[in-house]
Amino acid sequence: MATVPLSHQPIPSFLINPNPKYPFREAIAKLPMNGIHTICEEAKCPNRGECLPQHGTISIMVMGSICTRGCPFCAVTTGRPQPLDETEPQKVVDIAKALAVRYLVMTSPNRDELADGGASQFVKITEALRAFNQDLKIEILVPDFEGKEVSYQVLLQNPPDVIAHDLQTIPRLYGPIRPGAKYERSLNLFRWFKTHTDSSKVMLKAGLMVGFGETAEEVKEVLRDAVDAGVRFFTIGQYLKPPGSTLEVTEYVPLERYNHWTEYGKEIGLNVQASPLTRSSYLADRLSSTQTKPF
């Protein structure tokens, strides 16, 4: 008898956020989004009923919703993106203003067809947000920019409070899970920013998903690599197959393993937020406000 994939089985209770989703849906429904997408809704994040209503935090995707890469864990459409929208910075400001956002996370699909990978668009949006509200905390979840240092330099023309980048998985699984990406290239991104930024002003944050068949020790190896590369904040959460994804869940990771990784992070000077519901931007405001002394 064929085994039923985990994604077709009932989800464990610890993967269900009890906060109702309707406050988020109602807030978004009142806005003219003007082509701006929220990651909260696009990814069907289980926490979308919590972050905005309770913490004033929202995660948006800029530069369109078409990606130049095709990672099997992701439901974002792969293809040829549309040209950049020159009015996008103001559109993002309008959303932040209407929702009284206190902490804004923005990311983008991979835009490998652009010379700088979209770094200059991130800067334009950051400048517009700073002009609107200097107290607004900004986190940018960046792609790897194909390892182009010129893109890193562009981003620092007006840096955010947090530069985040998802490693997504352990090195052994990069081939099937992150085609087009390279583990060392992502680590080098952090190494470059570690050298070229003031860690008291720009914090570096990484993350990965679990449930692909990785071992607990392999995750700890990634945590050590991240610390060595200058990362001080790290998120670990359960992979849940989104609509349109071709990649199945291998395991629902037990709670004690998340606790183990959190404690291990403390041992090596890394602030780890690990739980089944953790996502890259989940409780981002809280994580960025904590302090862990570098070793």
List Cβ neighbours of 217 (8 Å cut-off, separation of 6 or more).
none
pLDDT of residue 1: 45
Residue 232 and residue 292 in contact, taking contact as beta carbons nearer than 8 Å: yes
Residue 120 and residue 154 in contact, taking contact as beta carbons nearer than 8 Å: yes
Average pLDDT value over all residues in the chain = 86
Q: Looking at the domain assignment, is residue 59 inside a domain?
A: yes
Of the pLDDT bands very low, low, confident and very high (cuts 50, 70, 90), residue 292 is: very low
Of the pLDDT bands very low, low, confident and very high (cuts 50, 70, 90), residue 8 is: low
pLDDT of residue 294: 42
Residue 172's identity, in one-letter code, is R
Of the pLDDT bands very low, low, confident and very high (cuts 50, 70, 90), residue 295 is: very low
Section 265-270 average pLDDT: 96
Residue 178's identity, in one-letter code, is R
Give 128-149 pLDDT, tens digit per residue: 999 999 999 999 999 999 999 9
Range of the domain at 52: 14-289
Q: Looking at the domain assignment, is residue 9 inside a domain?
A: no
Give 65-123 pLDDT, tens digit per residue: 888 787 777 777 778 889 999 999 999 999 899 888 889 999 998 898 999 999 999 99
What is the crossing angle of helices 216-228 and 255-268, to 10°?
A: 30
Q: Looking at the domain assignment, is residue 26 inside a domain?
A: yes
Number of domains composing the chain: 1
Q: Looking at the domain assignment, is residue 1 inside a domain?
A: no
Residue 266, sorted as left (phi over 0), alpha (psi -120 to 50) or beta, turns out to be alpha
Q: Looking at the domain assignment, is residue 294 inside a domain?
A: no
Q: Looking at the domain assignment, is residue 213 inside a domain?
A: yes
Q: Looking at the domain assignment, is residue 5 inside a domain?
A: no
The residues with which 77 forms a beta bridge, in sequence order, are 66
List Cβ neighbours of 22 (8 Å cut-off, separation of 6 or more).
49
pLDDT of residue 146: 94
Is the per-residue pLDDT at 32 higher than 80? no
285 vs 274 pLDDT, higher one? 274
**Above pLDDT 90, what percent of the chain?**
58
Backbone angles phi, psi at 232, to 5 degrees: -125, -10
pLDDT of residue 160: 96
Across the chain, the runs of DSSP E, i.e. the strands, are 37-38, 57-61, 66-67, 77-78, 103-107, 137-141, 162-168, 203-210, 233-238, 271-274
pLDDT of residue 290: 62
pLDDT of residue 259: 96
Is the per-residue pLDDT at 16 higher than 90? no
Per-residue tokens: 46 = 């289980």
Is the per-residue pLDDT at 185 higher than 80? yes
Section 177-187 average pLDDT: 93
Give 49-65 pLDDT, tens digit per residue: 666 666 677 788 899 88
The whole-angstrom separation of Cα 195 and Cα 188 is: 11
Is the per-residue pLDDT at 266 higher than 50? yes
Q: Which domain CATH number covers 80?
A: 3.20.20.70
Give 194-250 pLDDT, tens digit per residue: 999 998 899 999 999 999 999 999 999 999 999 999 999 999 999 988 777 778 899
Q: Looking at the domain assignment, is residue 2 inside a domain?
A: no
CA torsion sign for 276, 277, 280, 286 is: negative
Section 167-175 average pLDDT: 95
Task: Specify the residue for token string 């050298």.
Answer: 195
The whole-angstrom separation of Cα 97 and Cα 101 is: 7
Of the pLDDT bands very low, low, confident and very high (cuts 50, 70, 90), residue 265 is: very high
